[in-house]
Structure 1
């Protein structure tokens, strides 16, 4: 066996093995920490499924929040707040009001004054401070049929769902499948593969040489 050939071949095999293992570990790390886990949000009732959706905001732990009443929509349309948060609707467009469609048991929040079609002038506000946890839905009387609806989640004791995530079909994260990813395991596996590469190369060069390579010409 030629010692120089052995070192050259073994070094190349080990280097390739290490590079492959490093690439695999980096890929796994990126898959695990690159986002795509989604976010937890309240599960909204079907009543607001056709709302003119101007977005969702998690506003828990804030003392006061504002919802803009604009041209046939509420902005934001969906909010999550803590109990005893003061919620104020600011009427930035004319011809609208706020009426509650549903409230948790025991809650008695009032909508704007007047009947179903009595509207509030631009520049006015309407405020409530919910203390009962749960989901509240509301609407604008004159424009309910056009999707001018909204919903409020109060407190942490509400039904939730995970939305978003996935990142457009990236590689699955082993941890999401119940397989904990440990970097030191990857390191040990890399060392093991390097050792196997050396052993394999040694035996290949020692016993795999043909009769033509051993002796030269007769």
Structure 2
């Protein structure tokens, strides 16, 4: 037998021993040390990634959505929203950022799609959307 080839038993052993590690990232609260995420909560910059997690969320009218900062120097700047809506994003506009531990909530009353981003990380693709259905 060629010494560079692995036996079926060796391959099965390798697969069985790596499966728990491979699945570990798929389990738990997703992304932030296995922390459970409350319903309608978006993590801002989890694991120092330049993302909103999830980046899209669908809710019913009258639902409060909460953003929790998991890393530093982020904000929420509204880029578009339905006619009649008045969401302004985080306080202070594009130049004001917030750090780990900051929590921001908003109750969406007007149906439609709301698009937002993090101003300091817009170019890196840190964008999100909320879809509000009746």
Shorter-normalised TM-score: what interval?
Answer: 0.5 to 0.7
| Structure 1 moving runs of 4+ over 6 Å | none
TM-score, with structure 2 as normaliser: 0.67
Query: Which residue number corresponds to residue 99 of structure 1?
Result: 77
TM-score, with structure 1 as normaliser: 0.41
Query: Which residue number corresponds to residue 84 of structure 1?
Result: 62
Structure 1: runs of 5 or more not aligned = 1-63, 157-218
Alpha-carbon distance between aligned partners in 2 of 1:84 and 1:141, rounded to the nearest angstrom: 27
Task: Map 1:70-149 to 2 at 5 A.
Answer: 70=45, 71-149=49-127
Larger radius of gyration between Structure 1 and Structure 2: 1
The structural deviation recorded for 1:109 is 0.9
From the two aligned structures, give the one with the greater strand fraction: 2
Query: Which residue number corresponds to residue 40 of structure 1?
Result: none
Alpha-carbon distance between aligned partners in 2 of 1:106 and 1:129, rounded to the nearest angstrom: 14
The structural deviation recorded for 1:113 is 1.0
Structure 2: runs of 5 or more not aligned = 1-38
Contact 2:77–2:93 under 8 Å retained in 1: no
Per chain length, whose mean CA-contact separation is higher, i.e. which structure has more relative contact order (CA < 8 Å, sep 6+)? 1
* RMSD (Å) for aligned C-alpha atoms: 1.1
Contact 2:61–2:133 under 8 Å retained in 1: yes
